[in-house]
Amino acid sequence: MASSDLTVERISDALLGKHIDVIVSGSIGAVESTRFVRSLRRLGARVTPWLTEGAKQFTTNTALSWASAEKVVESFSGDASHIGLADACVIAPASANIIAKIARGITDTPASALVASYLGQGKPVMFIPNMHESLSHSPFVKSNTEKIEAYCTKLQPRMEEGKLKFPEPAVLADQIAHSLNSVAGMFPAMVAMGTTRGYIDDVRYISNYSSGALGSKIAEELYRQGLTTYVVAGPSPIRPKAYSKLIEVDTNDSLERTSLQLVEEEKAAVVFASSVLDFIPDQKQDGKIKSSEDLQVSFVKTDKIIAKLKPEHGIKVGFKLEADLDEAKAKAIATDYMEKYSLSLMVLNSLKEVTATAHKAYIVSRNDKGDLQWTQKDGKQQIAAMIAKHIKLASLN
């Protein structure tokens, strides 16, 4: 049976159970509002759109009703819909005009009255300015923006072509999930992903292949769940779109140095999904070796970086890729590795079952008695969700 055109495929439960009022105001960024609303729904949120008069120049009631599968609010009504009853209010895009109304407490429109109601109840209000940079630098607009920042969370626009542009809608939805799910006291997480390089000369190197797809999914889900997420990214074609900070590395040494710093200084939990070289050239030659000459390269074994990472709260996730893997082999490897590297959770993959679109894995953790427990997950997002849940629960306990 075909699904309704109103339905969306949920990729995360980061906003499951949340009801969000989305105010679409009169700025060109309103053309992205349908995609943004559906991005929120893909994280599990229920969304009620509010359409201002100015926004009607850029989008329509019909489009937002379709995107949200909800009735769009355009006017005051007898049911006092302007009283904020949902979990959060997001103004996206926020024009200079609606920012001015909020800053001055003007409630002559349903949207500005809704924001006043949220602020009066101490509920979260988020906004993303969307206008030409010259407008944002106006002393009046700047003053109004700074004034409401004292009470509302300002989301980061995309700066491009001298304009405060609307971000990628899915990334904006992730920012909102992060803001709503952040809890004081949660420890941060670091995700090491990608691969490393061993340099032969200044041009040539050896490397493992890593797409970065799984590491990116994990980083994005941790970020959505409210954790400060540091990404330590080696070379890979895929990068996460949402995170707190991304640090580029390329060699085993730079990966080790950065990871140790985050564990020791930031007290970060560890997700070590990097495809690290086990062997590197014993020395790097300066310049470029002449291609007319024969070349022999000697290799030396590298240290196990994961063994050196010792988060103080004991949350460390390791990964192992085998050419072929069955349950018996997975259990034998996990029994050894969980103890050897002090892992709180381990993901075991078979090369035969990892593709661009599919990813089956055994996931091993410990129960309250310290005994190993097993589960199988099918799909990168499912694996990422389980890792994020493991770290978040540990962080809140």
Task: Kindly report the three-state secondary structure assignment for every residue of 193-215.
Answer: ECECEEECCCCCEEECCCCCHHH
Contact 158, 200 (CB under 8 A): no
Does residue 314 lie within any of the structural domains?
yes
Q: pTM, whole model, 2 decimals?
A: 0.94
Say what the pLDDT of residue 308 is: 98
**Are both 220 and 318 inside the same structural domain?**
yes
Mean pLDDT of 211-217: 96
Query: Which CATH number is 376's domain given?
Result: 3.40.50.10300
**Are both 223 and 135 inside the same structural domain?**
no
Q: Is the pLDDT of residue 161 over 80?
A: no
Q: What is the pLDDT of residues 21-78, one digit of tens each?
A: 999 999 999 999 999 999 999 999 999 999 999 999 999 999 999 999 999 999 999 8
Distance CA 54, CA 56 (A): 5
Q: Answer whether the bond into residue 93 is a cis peptide, omega within 30°.
A: yes
| Listed residues 181, 213, 242: the one ending a domain | 181
Q: In what order do the strands lie in the sheet with 163-165?
A: 131-132, 163-165, 158-160
Residue 42 DSSP SS3:
helix
Does residue 9 lie within any of the structural domains?
no
Mean pLDDT of 115-128: 97
Overall domain count for the chain: 2
**Are both 148 and 84 inside the same structural domain?**
yes
Mean pLDDT of 390-396: 94
**Are both 205 and 352 inside the same structural domain?**
yes
**Are both 155 and 38 inside the same structural domain?**
yes
Does residue 27 lie within any of the structural domains?
yes
**Are both 215 and 299 inside the same structural domain?**
yes
| Listed residues 134, 159, 181: the one ending a domain | 181
For residue 1, name the pLDDT band (cuts at 50, 70, 90).
very low
**Are both 217 and 305 inside the same structural domain?**
yes
Contact 118, 125 (CB under 8 A): yes
Does residue 7 lie within any of the structural domains?
no
Give the distance from CA 208 to its chain's centroid: 25
Q: For residue 98, give the amino acid letter.
A: I
For residue 351, name the pLDDT band (cuts at 50, 70, 90).
confident
Query: Which CATH number is 64's domain given?
Result: 3.40.50.1950
**Are both 31 and 177 inside the same structural domain?**
yes
Q: Is the pLDDT of residue 3 over 70?
A: no
**Are both 169 and 198 inside the same structural domain?**
no
Residue 232 to residues 10, 112, 224: CA-CA distances in angstroms?
A: 27, 42, 18
For residue 2, name the pLDDT band (cuts at 50, 70, 90).
low
**Are both 277 and 148 inside the same structural domain?**
no
Does residue 3 lie within any of the structural domains?
no
Mean pLDDT of 356-363: 83
Contacts of 380 (CB under 8 A, 6+ apart): 213, 214, 217, 359
Angle, CA 52 vertex, CA 49 and CA 54 arms, to 5°: 135
Residue 393 to residues 135, 187, 390: CA-CA distances in angstroms?
A: 44, 11, 6
Does residue 376 lie within any of the structural domains?
yes
- For residue 252, what is the enclosing H or E element? helix 252-265
| Listed residues 153, 181, 209: the one ending a domain | 181
Does residue 213 lie within any of the structural domains?
yes
- Closest to 19 measured CA to CA, from 44, 50, 38, 54: 44
For residue 354, name the pLDDT band (cuts at 50, 70, 90).
confident
- Domain span at residue 384 reads 189-396
Q: Is the pLDDT of residue 147 over 80?
A: yes
Does residue 169 lie within any of the structural domains?
yes
**Are both 287 and 148 inside the same structural domain?**
no
**Are both 257 and 219 inside the same structural domain?**
yes
Q: For residue 330, give the amino acid letter.
A: A
Mean pLDDT of 181-208: 96
